[in-house]
Structure 1
Amino acid sequence: MPPSPRIGSMVNAYTPGQGHLSPQDQALVARRTQALGPAYRLFYETPVHLVRGQGVWLYDAQGNPWLDCYNNVACVGHCHPRVVEALARQASTLATHTRYLHDGILDYAEKLLATFPAELAHVMFTCTGSEANDLAYRIARAATGGTGVIVTDNAYHGVTLATAQMSMSIGPAVAPGPEVFAIPAPTPANYPAGIAEGFAAAVRGACAAMREKGLRPAMLIVDTVFSSDGLWLDPPGFLALSAATIRAEGGLFLADEVQPGFARTGGSMWGFQRHGVVPDMVSLGKPMGNGYPVAGLVLRPEVITEFGAKARYFNTFGGNAVAAAVAMEVLRVIEDEGLMHHAAVTGAAFAEGLRKLAARHPETLGEVRGAGLFLAVEILEGGAPSAATAGRIVNGLRDRRVLISATGPEGHILKLRPPLPFSTANVDQFLSALAEVLAA
């Protein structure tokens, strides 16, 4: 079954089938529908019932292992013992918010900021990436006096009202908002004369369109690997011109690092660093707490001046003592286990293996793109993009207990984003499973 229109372009979201489900899992699906309502979606035609995780593995109720090639949330691996211990230790000691003095949040803030360019010297804490992007928009409005936002045309930036209206991939029921201006993603097809110049020109054109409607620019927000648009990373450096363009137009540049951040791209800690640019604001989310809800916004001090003078910021759970302890341990594990270098080396092997497999199956596997342990593979049928074929591959891998998803505006691009400890042996297992699916 192909992905649902638009919703499926962000993730493979299916109406669950019942054919291979046990009676117990069929009952779970029925309970879920009754309790959670119609807006939720499950992965895969036959849903997966998971009960625990360890490293790059997830386990079902029967104890079968599933290779996780998708969840960047558990960036240092599911249930990493050091992270779990830090969570339990702090939760058993003190769990309170940022209106009291506490060493933990300051120790973490300083360590986190040390991974950024010196110009980015403040951090504000939230619980989710959606909240971080929402806060960034409030700050941008205060700093610029503008309200217009530029996004790419299949972006995903969150689930609050403001960020959902910036998220084209959610679907037409919400997005876009009247102050949101979508431009084509930075692909060679969209900008054949040059991605850097073409994308910057699109930013300039969006600002002109705003002014025609009596609006002023507030910010350009991009996921710095453009994952929901299909994972567009190259050439390195192309975003610098667009950042300069939005600033010349009076707006700010917000780098959404919820997906590419925390060493995933291998060569650097943050996706924007591939482009040699320092953003005005950087939003963080999912991998920051390895599954614990902690997120944040890193920003230049001058950007927050106007907002800070006129408004108070408080988030009951954002930056609480437990969140700080967990996030600190995640950062330490990334450093201590050399996961940035590991992502670069393993990701390169992964990309090479995918390209070799694509050479044997050119009718189905198209271009392979990636940086570190964030990869994408175009899926074709008859030489054209095929969401239906991508759906069959995703579900075929699921039947072999290998978990991935699909992305892109047409839902035809395999999205590979495993936990960072993913090994070359795990790469070989994935490639073998994919070869089996293609042969079938």
Structure 2
Amino acid sequence: MSKKIDLSMPNAFVPGQGNLSSEDDAMVARRYRLLGPAYRLMYENPLHLVRGEGVWLYDVNGRPYLDVYNNVTSLGHCHPRVVEAIREQVGILATNTRYLHSLILDYAERLLATFPSALGHVMFACTGSEANDLAYRIAKFHTGGTGVIVTDMSYHGISDTVSQFSPSLGKSVNLGVHVRTVPSPHAYHYPHCDIGAKFTADVKSAIDDLLRHGIKPAMLIVDSLFTSDGVLADPGGFLKGAVDAIRAAGGIFVADEVQPGFARTGDFMWGFQRHGVEPDMVTLGKPMGNGQPISATVIRPEILQEFGENARYFNTFGGNAVSCAAAFAVLQAIQDEKLQENARVVGAHMAEGLSKLKARHDIVGDVRGAGLIFGLEIVTDQTSAKAGREATTRVVNRMRDDGVLISVCGKGYNVLKIRPPLVFSRENADMFLAALDRALAAE
């Protein structure tokens, strides 16, 4: 088994360098033998998990870990409402969208009601990658262009098409010739700059470069919290100029809400709402079914019209009854259990605690986020703001050993990526903050 360090994935397990039990070491070898070399594990000592409940994950020895990272199960692991919805529906009917079934329509109505009225259609798939792939197909058909503009550390999926505009996958995954990257809108590194004006100018430059090479722009697509870029939430409103620029060039704006969406920002249901813009398309995934595979592309009807009349869309499992039941239960839980409000209140408590840690630890250069998603930029010192990648990795792995799970993002792989379930409590937050304090102090 190769022991080469994979520099394209932060916080990756390096075979032969961990401190694993004989059982887990054998499982790593078996995994490599059966699944091949492309898969990666997280942490210096990978976790062997067997069960999850709420905000907790449990390893093979029964040890609990506070999950402050996995937004796939945004309601927490094994949320009873979602489990019951899946169990009930799988015992009744599991079929696709080529048959009449009311559940997909009931869910579509309830989901679309959370969006601006201009976004009137929804198409279902299984993963965020598929949702973004579909968005690009429709964008090309509608605009007649192929050019895509993304930020320089963004992630939008793993299909061949979408990986070509997912630069965070690393240098071994080539970007398409029709793709242009722009610098992440990073207020911390441009402290005396109007971030909105700079981002708009960068997008306009990318548009000009596409046109110079004979490539008509099709879309600007961004994760509205720039999560993989390092969680770049503020200032609210800075996207508007860039959205106007892509539309003026004949392209459309796609908000990738796979990570920012479903109430995570606290103040809004969707991340793009923080910027006062209305996208032409919105893509959804990960937390939509709390682990049950379902995703969606939400679209302005006038953009979908011609595509729909000329190109059939079918996805064998996209929008199946079981996944729609899970997604309906997720949306009900968010609304009935007031989880958007919980994200706002508990998120504010976490933000206050993180700011206190920044004041206490010189390696914390910046604290940023919205609701229950945060990025803590780790630096060698606050004066130089130089990326502290090695320290970041040590902090993440100390926390893992302390029973708290987070990970890493950002261009310098030096941003702590923190996104707990929406059911996170103040008590959970205090436990997390105490563990982070200990991990930072060890530096």
Please confirm whether the aligned pair reaches a TM-score higher than 0.5, indicating the same fold.
yes
Find the counterpart in structure 2 of residue 168 from structure 1: 167
Between the aligned partners of 1:53 and 1:190, the Cα distance in structure 2 is: 41
**8 A Cα contact 1:404 1:414, kept in partner:** yes
* CA deviation after TM superposition for structure 1 residue 300, in Å: 0.3
Indicate the SS of the match to 1:48.
coil
Structure 2 equivalent of residue 421 of structure 1: 423
Does the 8 Å contact 2:361/2:441 carry over to 1? no
Paired residues for 1:334-353 under 5 Å: 334-353=334-353
Aligned-partner Cα distance in 1 for 2:19–2:181? 41
Offset, 1:211: 1.0
1:20-419 equivalences in 2 (<5 Å) = 20-188=19-187, 189=189, 192-362=192-362, 364-382=363-381, 383=384, 384-419=386-421
Opposite residue 371 of structure 2, the aligned amino acid is G
Offset, 1:439: 2.6
Tell me the CA shift for residue 7 of structure 1.
Answer: 2.5
* CA deviation profile, 1:243-281 (whole Å, cap 9, x unmatched): 111000100000000000000010000000001110000
Deviations 1:131-175 (A, max 9, x none): 000000000000000000000011100001111010001012223
Unaligned runs of 5+ in 2: none
User: What are the superposed Cα offsets for residues 267-307 of structure 1, whole Å, 9 maximum, x if unpaired?
Assistant: 00000000111000000000000000000000100111121
Q: Which residue in the other structure is 2:13 paired with?
A: 14
Q: Tell me by how many angstroms 1:344 deviates.
A: 0.5
Question: What percent of counterpart residues are identical?
Answer: 58
Are the counterparts in 1 of residues 18 and 44 from structure 2 also a CA contact under 8 Å?
no
Residue 17 of structure 1 deviates from its aligned partner by 4.6
Q: 2: distance between equivalents of 1:361 and 1:387?
A: 16
Letter aligned with residue 342 of structure 2: H
| Cα shift at 1:436 | 1.6
Residue segments in structure 1 that go unaligned for 5+ positions in a row = none
Query: In the TM superposition, what whole-angstrom CA distance separates every residue of 1:51-103 from its partner, at most 9, and x where no partner exists?
Result: 01000000011111100000000011100011000001000100000000000
Equivalent-residue separation in structure 2 for 1:375 and 1:255 (angstroms): 19
Preserved CA contact (<8 Å) 1:132 1:284: yes
Aligned residue for 1:72, secondary structure, equals coil
AA aligned to 1:140 is A
1:202 to partner: Cα distance: 1.2
Work out the CA distance in 2 between the residues paired with 1:106 and 1:195.
41
Alpha carbons of 1:192 and 1:184: their partners in 2 closer, same or farther (altered >3 Å)? farther
> What amino acid sits opposite 1:27 in the alignment?
A
**Contact 1:184/1:190 (CA < 8 Å) preserved in 2?**
no
Q: Report the Cα distance in structure 1 between the residues aligned to 2:330 and 2:181, rounded to whole angstroms.
A: 34
Q: Is the 8 A contact 1:385 1:412 kept in 2?
A: yes
Tell me, what secondary structure is at the counterpart of 2:205?
helix
> Does the Cα contact within 8 Å between 1:123 and 1:299 map onto a contact in 2?
yes
Give the TM-score normalised by the residue count of structure 1.
0.97
**Structure 1 position 348, deviation (Å):** 0.7
| Residues 334-392 of structure 1, C-alpha deviations (whole Å, 9 max, x = no match) | 01110000000101110110110111112x11210010000010111244211100000
Q: What is the CA–CA distance in structure 2 between the aligned matches of 1:391 and 1:258, rounded to whole Å?
A: 25
1:160 and 1:32, CA in 2 relative to 1: closer, same or farther beyond 3 A? Answer: same
CA separation of 1:126/1:386 partners in 2, compared to 1, >3 Å: closer, same or farther? same
Instruction: For 1:185 and 1:26, locate their aligned partners in 2 and report how far apart those are by CA, in whole Å.
Output: 39
1:193 Cα offset (Å): 3.3
Secondary structure of the corresponding residue to residue 309 of structure 1:
helix
Provide the rounded CA distance (Å) in 2 between the counterparts of 1:187 and 1:18. 34
What is the distance in 1 between the residues matched to 2:5 and 2:408? 9
Aligned CA distance change for structure 1 residues 275 and 74 (closer, same or farther; 3 Å): same
- 1:182-226: CA deviations, max 9, x gaps? 011111335853111111111111111111111100000000000
CA contact (8 A) 2:392 2:415 kept: yes
Structure with larger RCO (C-alpha < 8 A, sep 6+): 1
Aligned residues of 1:217 and 1:249 also touching (Cα < 8 A): yes
Does structure 1 conserve the Cα–Cα contact (< 8 Å) formed by 2:5 and 2:14? no
| C-alpha contact 1:2 1:391 (8 A) present in aligned 2 | no
